[in-house]
């Protein structure tokens, strides 16, 4: 077991601060401007480049505000640094994480799931189906302008991207909850306070980097061809409190079939 609150690598950008007080670590993103990237972040230990399954992530966390008032993004989990501020090379995204994103962030990955909010999600785009669809992406965006065609063809794109996600609108994010992600070689199981909320077989391969963060960034990428990235100004402090953040690297037990499976 690795305690990331004790051994994680701290990154502070712009006004971002990582504050360790008592038994809680606060990722604080104070007031900031739209021309300055502000980020408070904990990565894995400096000597650990990436993580591979099987493992279990356990985070006991709360957010300072309802998700639609965060003025940026926050979360914790694993990804391959596919896109973001300061990242110049776009890679086929692979991720296993809990994501909180406020407006105008809008990146709907699964049909019927909002593009923002608090979500558990996986994405595994490094697969032959994804690369096979790349030549027809421009035509696909035109087709997605029709709701009927979007409902018909977006599931094909979703499978090619290896996407599964669910919105977590059943909890109050400003209260402490235990977020768990069991990342296995074949499937991923997400739980909140011990209750399974999503099981998916779109498990990406490692290695992926660990990150827990809060920032003032947003992204827009919709099936209808709307794209954008930027930074948000905010006069109010926002934060992510972490009372527990650990990775258990012993093999995770196989998850049973569950009604939450997508």
* Secondary structure (3-state) at 250: coil
CA distance 234 to 216: 8
Q: What's the confidence (pLDDT) of residue 213? A: 97
Residue at token pair 């008592």: 22
Tell which phi-psi region holds residue 23, choosing left (phi > 0), alpha (psi between -120 and 50) or beta.
Answer: alpha
- 105: tokens are 């962030």
Q: Supply the pLDDT for residue 90.
A: 60
Place of tokens 């999600």: 121
| 152 to 10, 18, 107, 110, 134: CA distances (angstroms) | 44, 45, 19, 13, 18
Block mean pLDDT (10 aa), the chain, length 262: 93 96 93 96 88 96 97 96 59 88 90 91 68 39 47 59 90 98 96 97 92 95 78 97 93 44 38
The pair of structure tokens assigned to 241 is 């409190």
Contacts of 162 (CB under 8 A, 6+ apart): 122, 123, 124, 125, 127, 130, 202, 204
Contact of 193 with 114, CB cutoff 8 Å: no
Domains of the chain: 2-248 (2.60.120.200)
* CA pair distance 120, 76, nearest whole angstrom: 10
pLDDT for position 147: 56
């Amino acid at each position: 077991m690795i305690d990331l609150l004790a051994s994680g690598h701290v990154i502070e950008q712009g006004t971002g601060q990582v504050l360790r007080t008592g038994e809680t670590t606060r990722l604080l993103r104070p007031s900031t401007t739209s021309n300055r990237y502000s980020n408070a972040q904990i990565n894995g230990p400096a000597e650990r480049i990436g993580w591979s399954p099987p493992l279990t992530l356990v985070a006991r966390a709360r957010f300072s505000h309802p998700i639609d008032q965060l003025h940026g993004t926050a979360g914790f989990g694993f990804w391959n640094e596919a896109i973001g501020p300061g990242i110049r090379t776009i890679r086929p995204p692979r991720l296993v994480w809990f994501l909180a994103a406020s407006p105008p962030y809008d990146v709907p990955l699964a049909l019927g799931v909002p593009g923002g909010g608090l979500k558990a999600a996986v994405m595994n785009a490094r697969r032959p189906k994804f690369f096979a669809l790349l030549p027809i992406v421009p035509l696909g965006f035109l087709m997605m302008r029709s709701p009927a065609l979007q409902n018909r063809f977006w599931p094909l794109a979703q499978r090619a991207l290896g996407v599964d996600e669910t919105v977590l609108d059943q909890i109050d994010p400003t209260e402490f909850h235990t977020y768990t992600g069991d990342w296995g070689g074949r499937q991923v199981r997400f739980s909140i306070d011990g209750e399974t909320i999503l099981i998916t077989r779109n498990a990406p391969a490692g290695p992926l980097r660990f990150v827990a963060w809060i920032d003032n960034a947003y992204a827009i990428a919709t099936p209808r061809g709307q794209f954008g990235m930027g930074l948000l100004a905010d006069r109010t402090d926002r934060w992510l409190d972490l009372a527990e953040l650990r990775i258990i690297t012993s093999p995770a037990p196989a998850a049973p079939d569950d009604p939450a499976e997508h």
